[in-house]
Amino acid sequence: MDERDKPGQVLGVGIVGYGRLGRALHRLIDHGRSRAAVLIWNRTRINVPGWTSIHQLAQQAEVILLCIPSFALRQLLETLKPALRSSTVLVSFAKGIEHTSGQTVDQVFATVVPTQPFALVGGPMLAEELVAGRQGIAVVGTHDPTIYLKLVYLFDGTELLLEPSGDPRAVSLAGVLKNVYALAVGISYGVGCQPGECQNFRQRALQEMLAVGQHLRLPTSTINGPAGVGDFMTTSSSPLSRNRRAGERLGQDGSLDREAESIASFPHLIALVGELAAFPILRATSQAVMHGQSVGRAFAAVLPGAGQSGDKNPSRS
């Protein structure tokens, strides 16, 4: 990055949530060129370098990276809000719909911290691959282009490449869709279909995801880009993806990983889509996830061999 293009030295970066993604982003920043000072808050201090209180982090950080799931976002924002400076940028990597309110991540920001600058980041950036030095691509959805420039500066010299988007809601919904369809692909592997059948099903899932995106009037550039197709291709093909693994478990033994973003977001996505007749894979997945139908019965019409997977009902425990 040319010196003239840099938005200014990042004085402090906060990372909230030090799971796989939080650790991966910390590593990127440490190995990049920004020389940012990193503060970290996590629920526990065990194996967390640079841990600080949430209040101190909110006061000192110029950019706060929120590496937490969507169901925890509202409470976290309420906690941060009293100590935030008006200029502090909040950046969320969550890809879900809040279970209690049905709000997308951008709507949660608008409700809880309406005057705070924020961005949503989506794209194929599995934490394990970033840690291994493999390249990740992400879309920064924000109404303020200076936030995009600040994040480009923050990750300058790292394996994470960033693209801008002026539509954070579209970035948010693209992430929801890719999670749900990665879940469906995981189900196909879980029921034990042959590799060729799984690949064909994955291609059909991608085409249906694009059709749902069009139905929801998402910009073609967003759903076809890294936040949509790119993230789906990575997530649905990687056994490291929690949503892919959640689908495999559902297909294998009927159990539900209720903390997987795909499953938590499902009822509200279905409400947004409405009539499902044109989207058979989404309809089949909803029958298994929301209505307790066995995967074999739900997927019999869309996945060859699914009917032989047994009559396993999702666990509600």
Q: What strands lie across the sheet with 13-16, from one edge to the other?
A: 38-41, 13-16, 63-66, 89-92, 118-122, 136-141, 160-165
- Which of 6, 95, 150, 178 is catalytic? The answer is 178
Do 263 and 183 contact (CB within 8 A), yes or no? Answer: yes
Report the pLDDT value the prediction gives residue 5, as an integer from 0 to 100: 44
Q: Are residues 206 and 292 in the same domain?
A: yes
Q: Which residues contact 101 (CB under 8 A, 6 or more apart)?
A: 74, 107, 108
Report the pLDDT value the prediction gives residue 49, as an integer from 0 to 100: 86
Helix (H, G, I), strand (E, B) or coil at 103: coil
312 catalytically annotated: no
How far is residue 25's CA from residue 44's CA, in Å, rounded to a whole number?
Answer: 18
Report the pLDDT value the prediction gives residue 10, as an integer from 0 to 100: 47
Q: Are residues 214 and 293 in the same domain?
A: yes
Rg (the chain; Cα; Å): 20
Q: Is the pTM of this model over 0.85?
A: yes
Report the CATH number at residue 90.
3.40.50.720
How far is residue 290's CA from residue 121's CA, in Å, rounded to a whole number?
Answer: 28
Q: Are residues 102 and 63 in the same domain?
A: yes
Report the pLDDT value the prediction gives residue 82, as an integer from 0 to 100: 94
Give the CA angle between residues 137, 235, 168 to the nearest 5°: 55
Report the pLDDT value the prediction gives residue 47, as an integer from 0 to 100: 84
| Boundary of a domain, candidates 166, 197, 225 | 166
Do 145 and 119 contact (CB within 8 A), yes or no? Answer: no
Q: How many domains does the chain have?
A: 2
Query: What's the distance, Cα to Cα, between the start and end of the chain in Å?
Result: 52
Containing structural domain, residue 215: 170-309
| Boundary of a domain, candidates 135, 166, 197 | 166
Give the CA angle between residues 289, 294, 299 to the nearest 5°: 80
| Residue 317 domain flag | no
Q: Are residues 149 and 257 in the same domain?
A: no
| Residue 314 domain flag | no
Q: Are residues 247 and 271 in the same domain?
A: yes
Report the CATH number at residue 205.
1.10.1040.10
Question: Chunked in runs of 10, what are the mean pLDDT values of the chain (317 residues)?
Answer: 47 91 93 93 88 93 95 95 95 90 94 97 84 86 96 93 95 95 95 87 97 96 94 90 93 90 92 96 95 92 70 49
| Boundary of a domain, candidates 113, 133, 166 | 166
Q: Are residues 40 and 156 in the same domain?
A: yes
| Residue 87 domain flag | yes
Beta bridge partners of 141: 120, 165
